[in-house]
Structure formats: C-alpha cells, structure tokens
Amino acid sequence: MRPLLDAAARDEDEHIARNGPLPWPRTPGVLIGALQEAGLTGRGGANFPTWRKLARTAVTDRPVVIANAAEGEPFSRKDKVLLQQCRHLVLDGLQLTAEAVGASRVYLYGAVVPQRKSDRYPLTCLAAPDAFTAGESSAVMAAVNGRTPLPTGESRDDMLVQNVETLARIAQIARYGPRWFRRHDTFLATVSGAVQRPGVYEVEKNVAVQRLLDLAGAGETRAVLVGGYHGTWLTPRDVITDPGAGVAIALSANESGLAKTTEIVNYLASQSTRRCGPCRFGLPALAEALAARRMDQVYRLVGLVDGRGACHHPDGTARLVRSALTAFAGEYR
C-alpha cells in the first residue's frame, strides 16, 4: 500500500490529471474539522494532532504558515524524496493550510521550488543550514523572522510550522476525505544501516520492525534505531507505534550497540548550539562518560540534561541513551 508515493507526478499537469484539482473548501473550518476526524498527526517527529495546531493558529492575527523541509537528521531522506516525487501534493497541502488559517505569509523552509500559477498564496523559499537542529520548530521560526536558525524553545501560536509530509497528507484528506485516510494511514521511513537496499519506504502505521527490515533486505539484525538520533532502539520483534522523524537504522548482529550509541551521542554533542548548560556542558560530558564506560556517571548525566535545556535537543539525546541502556543492558554490564 503506497497511497502517498503512488501519487507522484512529473509536473503540475500530470499531478492534476492523477490526483484531481485542488479542492478549495467553500466553508471556513471545513478542513480543520476533516483533519480532526481523520486523526492526522505530524510527521516531523512530534506526532502532535495536526488539527489542533491549525485551530490554534486560525484565531491569531495575521498568521504565518511554514512548510518545513529541513532534514537535519543525518540519515533522513524522506522529505527530499517527497519533494522530488510529490512536490505538488506538498504545495497543495501548504496552500490549503494557508487558506484554513487565513495566512498573511507562506514559506517553504529548506527547499527551493518555483511558484505555481494556480497558487492563491505567494510562496517564499528559505534555505536551511546543514545542521541537526536547523529543522527544530523554534529554529524555523527564527529563520523566518530573519534571525539565525537556532532553537530557542520559543512557541508562537501565530506561526504554524508543518513538516512537508504532513502537508501532503492534508492535501490527500482534502481530496478523498477522513474515512479514506484512516484506511490509508501510512508513513514514510528512511531505512539505512546494515541493509542491502537502503531507501525510503512507505509502510502502514503500527508496522512491525521486521517488515521494514524485510523491505530493505536486512540480514540478522540485533536492533534498529527508530525515530532518528533522538529515537529509541527496538528489536526486530517490536512494533513501531511512534515512527518519530521516520528514520530506521539497522544494527547488524555483530555490531556493538554501545559503540554505535556512543558515536551518535558524540555527534549530537557536536551539534549543540551551546546556548544553555545542558547542551554546552552536559552533552559533551555524557559522550565522554559513554566512551569511557563510566556508567554511574552516564545515569547521573542523563537525569541532569533531561528537561532542562532551552530546546528539546538534550531531551532527545537523553531518550536515546536511556533506550540504549535498556536495549544493550548486557553489553553495558
């Protein structure tokens, strides 16, 4: 089942021929109600109900809508693939979202596409730096406001940031309805690591980890990191209930989970914006403790950085380490 990727089109004419014209709603609030009925959640990692974000923004003055295509995750490719194959579906969702909240400005962050003649809302494209935290929502808001795209933890109801996959789903719900979506609720996953066929796969919600491994041609697998570098380690027998950023990294049977987690935490520490203590001091200390196998210190530092940062970067790192402590308990001992 590939209801999203099978909607691919080379240009706008083919897109309309395959998917139908853009279904502009005639009554305000119709799209938000449809999204609530469909149960769509964000596909950028937070998994928050999409209709709530739109409803919250719709009551603000001169709101701004931003399509977030920045993929700071080192192994994420799903948004790039989506914009390459189904760009017009994403742009449809962006235009419909702008209409639903009464947007004053519309942006695409992290990609550049040409303006379409059929668009009601002019589109401004902004580049995104190649940094892990560049796609964090408050960093996106900062970029739109002309500041350096660094996470601040700021939350503004008048600025709506939506991942591009979420926008493509909005366009499909507007065309086919909530019932159709509930029957075709899939997600895109970038599968890499110890697999023969790395790539982007579209799979059903609550899919078994083994299903992704089979699609990508994995051999004997010890564990899979699901959700990206801020995700959790799962076994092939587990079910993916929260795909996070839609990234799955397979670890072969002879690889060290401790070494891989240490490598990732070192990277995450290097991606710190150094704007608060947990990132500036806590993450490098955590990476060092992991490398030295000082487990008492690891447990202590995980508790110290979690929930105390200016953004969620330390929280995601702590979640990864806690997951590794459980998944690779024997190796840590």
pLDDT, tens only, 20-45 = 999 898 787 899 999 999 999 989 87
Report the SS3 class of residue 62.
coil
Q: Which helix (H) or strand (E) holds 200?
A: strand 199-204
Rg, Å, the chain Cα set: 20
CB burial string 174-207: b at 16+ within 10 A, e below: bbbebeebeebbbbbbbbbbbbeebebbbbeeeb
- Which pLDDT value is given to residue 263? 97
Backbone CA torsion sign across 134, 137, 140, 142: negative
Which one of 3.10.330.10, 3.10.20.600, 3.40.190.10, 3.20.20.60 gives the CATH number of domain 186-252? 3.10.20.600
What does the pLDDT look like over 108-161, one tens digit per residue?
Answer: 999 999 999 889 999 999 999 999 999 999 999 999 999 999 988 888 999 999
pTM equals: 0.95
- The residue length of the chain stands at 333
Percentage with pLDDT > 70 across the chain: 99
What does the pLDDT look like over 228-256, one tens digit per residue?
Answer: 999 999 999 999 999 989 999 999 999 99
Overall average pLDDT of the 81-99 stretch: 97
Overall average pLDDT of the 294-313 stretch: 90
- Which pLDDT value is given to residue 40? 96
- More confident site: 87 or 45: 87
Is 75 within 8 Å of 83 (Cβ atoms)? no
CA-CA distance, 227 to 232, in Å (whole number)? Answer: 7
What does the pLDDT look like over 183-215, one tens digit per residue?
Answer: 999 999 999 999 999 999 999 999 999 999 999
Report the SS3 class of residue 256.
coil
| Ranges 186-195, 216-225, 308-317: which has the least confidence | 308-317
Q: pLDDT-based confidence at 322, cuts 50/70/90? A: very high
The residues spanned by each domain of the chain are 5-183, 186-252, 257-332
CA-CA distance, 151 to 142, in Å (whole number)? Answer: 8
Backbone CA torsion sign across 188, 190, 191, 196: positive
- Domain covering 257-332 in this structure, CATH number: 1.20.1440.230
Q: What backbone phi and psi angles, to 5 degrees, belong to 88?
A: -70, -30
Contacts of 194 (CB under 8 A, 6+ apart): 218, 219, 221, 250, 251, 252, 255
Please tell me the number of Cα atoms within 13 Å of 301 on its side-chain side. Answer: 24
Overall average pLDDT of the 50-71 stretch: 97
Q: Specify the residue for token string 């806590």.
A: 282
Overall average pLDDT of the 78-91 stretch: 97
Contacts of 270 (CB under 8 A, 6+ apart): none
Please give the DSSP secondary-structure letter assigned to residue 282: I
Residue 257 has pLDDT above 80, yes or no: yes
- Which pLDDT value is given to residue 1? 64
CA-CA distance, 197 to 139, in Å (whole number)? Answer: 33
Instruction: Calculate the CA 203 to chain-centre distance.
Output: 15
Is 128 within 8 Å of 134 (Cβ atoms)? yes
- Which pLDDT value is given to residue 276? 85
Classify domain 5-183 at the CATH class level.
Answer: alpha beta
